[in-house]
Amino acid sequence: MQKKQLNFLLCSLRKGTQFFLMAFFSISMLAHGQSKKPNIVFLLIDDLGYADCGFNGGKEILTPNIDRLAKEGSILKNHYVQPVCSPTRSALMTGRYPTKTGIYNIVTPGAQWGLPLNERTLANALKEAGYHTAITGKWHLGEFEKAYQPNARGFDHQYGHFFGAIDYFTHVRNNQLDWYRNGTQLKEEGYSTHLIAKEACSVIEQHAPSKPLFLFVPFNGVHSPFQVPEQYTEPYPNLEGNRKKLAGMLAAVDEAVAQIVASLQKAGMLENTLIIFSSDNGGPPPGKNTPLRDFKATIYEGGTRAAAFAHWPGRIPAGKTIEGAMHIIDWYPTLVGLAGGSLKQALPIDGKDVWPMITKAGKSPHKAILSVSTRGPSQAAIRMGDWKLIVADAEESDSASQKKQPKKYEPVSLFNLAEDPGESRNLASTYPDKVATLRKELSLLLKDAVAPGGK
């Protein structure tokens, strides 16, 4: 921040309360190294494998547009999410762990619950900061009452579906159409990835320059059912079955990303737009999470570490890989800070501002990062530095034994992720003092955990 700018803002504060909010927001933006509020486009890919895109080690599937954006920005090597979709979305929208919101598992169609109504959302916070807010894609945080739908949670514009696993062509799930514009059911033909991208491009190209834009694009691709127009699978004659279909589905998402970037360029917005790309959880089979262990719905790294990057020309270093650990909860305070918004709210925020880590190769602001399973706090993991501890309740072990199935987790597991990213060697018996340290910190993080939503 330039000294003259700071002095001017401080003088404004002294002149009277009428200048307070303007000066507060200006100071916040200048502290983040900018003088103009950025547009924000958040691309959330459903069930994307950690190693399915080229930028993160993938070799089988062509993702040239995604890879180009990643190369022009910084790859987030240790970007954590939740093991399934609704908990990740709630964490992004609130900056709070599932232990605070009760969203540990998937919100199912017609369920009489959703993201609690007392939660302030990222869309609320950015709208208060002067943004036009839009969502095109999958919501998955409740719909049984209008109060739980996106238009009541801070979004000026909504398009897409409320739940997952819809038919990509008919947009039907369980014999019910799940396709809406601003909460009104919409019968529309077309492949959902194409339609979501088209709407996102329309939002960008029709956007009035008088306001900054927050555009949330949660694609349902590449989540099952495995459906894609045939031309997208033609480049993959060596792949078979659902792996071949997934390749085509990801290729369609890659094309959609290119269209969104082209619209930003056409609208003259690209240079002042922060683009964030992430999966909502680790990929399930046939997705690949190499070299991480296991898949979606687990609290192993293959379930909770997402392929991710951040892109902003001139603001985020190009061609870098950020090693510091972060969680999707961190985008809430980071984006609100960049927007010059207020983080004063009734409910405490778990996320940390990761902007210095991303832009200046700083250290992770976290002492520890929490992962909680779909069962809730009884199965949880904590990462501190290179060390990760998983603690699973006896009930899970007993249940697996009764069904004569291998246990998913040992009661206590300790891994050194720097030496063993695949979590193949349980070091709990070798380092009991390390187990005790991490277990104490985990207990603090779980101390006030709420019951699962809907109960």
The CATH architecture one would assign to domain 369-446 is 2-Layer Sandwich (3.30)
The predicted structure's pLDDT at residue 455: 67
Contact 442, 105 (CB under 8 A): no
Helix, strand, coil shares, percent, the chain, to 5: 35, 20, 45
The superfamily CATH assigns to domain 30-360 is: Alkaline Phosphatase, subunit A (3.40.720.10)
The predicted structure's pLDDT at residue 404: 57
The predicted structure's pLDDT at residue 10: 45
The predicted structure's pLDDT at residue 407: 83
The predicted structure's pLDDT at residue 19: 37
| Same fold? 30-360, 369-446 | no
Q: 57-115 pLDDT, tens per residue?
A: 999 999 999 999 999 999 999 999 999 999 999 999 999 999 999 999 999 999 999 99
Cα–Cα separations (whole angstroms), residue 67 to 71, 255, 258, 395, 414: 6, 12, 11, 43, 33
Write out the E strands in 227-375. 273-279, 305-306, 308-311, 320-327, 369-373
Residue ranges covered by each domain of the chain: 30-360, 369-446
Q: Which residue has the tokens 């959330």?
A: 44
Mean pLDDT by 10 residues, the chain (455 residues): 47 42 42 72 98 97 98 98 98 98 96 97 98 98 97 98 97 96 97 98 96 98 98 98 98 98 98 98 98 98 98 97 98 98 98 97 95 96 98 65 71 98 98 98 96 82
- Report the relative pairing of strands 305-306 and 308-311 from DSSP bridges: unpaired
DSSP 148-204: GSGGGTT-SEEEEESSSS--TTT-EETTEE--EETTEE----S-HHHHHHHHHHHHH
Q: Which residues are catalytic?
A: 85, 140
Whole-model pTM: value is 0.91
Burial of 431 (0-12, 13-18, 19+ CB in 10 A): middle
Q: 31-42 pLDDT, tens per residue?
A: 444 558 999 999
Q: Rounded distance, CA 37 to CA 82, Å?
A: 29
